[in-house]
């Protein structure tokens, strides 16, 4: 069995609301955002700071629902400043053959400046013969367009 790591949840362009260095680590995220994409408390996440390129991994703590909180804690607080734009995503291990048979779906939230969901959409791998097709709903000029890319599976 070959396993592959696939993104299953992403918070795109969320803004740092505060950074707490003197904390035991983690990132505190508005629990409404977590629910939208299916991230769990204590789940490991990867983070990239769009403003300065810093990257780190940590785990999630749930914040107050609807408050828009994005708060890197501990060492992660040293890698960002209030107002910085982050991308936060979670991966999962999947059996490659199963993905080719059944597909895969990842949920994405595109956030506004107050960390409210501006758009929520799925990025999906759909089985197609010996390959998968990548489907993504993407916002452009307030219209949803669907982009499809065929990715050939190498067995």
- The answer on pLDDT for 104 being more than 70 is yes
Locate the domains of the chain by residue range. 3-93, 95-152
The confidence band for 138, taking pLDDT boundaries of 50, 70 and 90, is: low
- The answer on pLDDT for 108 being more than 90 is yes
The confidence band for 1, taking pLDDT boundaries of 50, 70 and 90, is: confident
pLDDT per residue as tens digits for the range 48-91: 999 999 999 999 999 999 999 999 999 999 999 999 999 999 99
Residues classed as catalytic: 26, 59
- The answer on pLDDT for 143 being more than 50 is no
Domain boundaries 3-93, CATH class? mainly beta
- How far are the Cα atoms of 1, 77, 79, 90, 150 from residue 36, in angstroms, in the given order? 31, 24, 26, 13, 27
Distance, CA of 94 to CA of 100 (rounded, Å)? 10
């Amino acid at each position: 069995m070959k396993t592959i790591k696939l993104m299953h949840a992403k918070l795109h362009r969320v803004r740092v609301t505060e950074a707490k260095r003197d904390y035991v680590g983690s990132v505190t995220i508005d629990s409404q955002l977590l629910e939208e994409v299916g991230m769990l408390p204590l789940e490991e996440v990867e983070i990239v700071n769009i403003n300065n390129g810093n990257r780190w991994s940590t785990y999630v703590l749930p914040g107050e629902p609807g408050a828009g909180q994005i708060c890197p804690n501990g060492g992660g607080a040293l890698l960002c400043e209030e107002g910085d734009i982050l991308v936060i995503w979670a991966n999962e291990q999947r059996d490659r053959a199963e993905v080719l048979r059944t597909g895969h779906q990842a949920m994405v939230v595109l956030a506004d400046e107050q960390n409210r969901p501006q758009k929520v959409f799925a990025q999906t791998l759909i089985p197609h013969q010996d390959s998968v097709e990548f489907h993504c709903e993407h916002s452009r000029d307030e219209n949803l367009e669907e982009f499809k890319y065929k990715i050939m599976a190498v067995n």
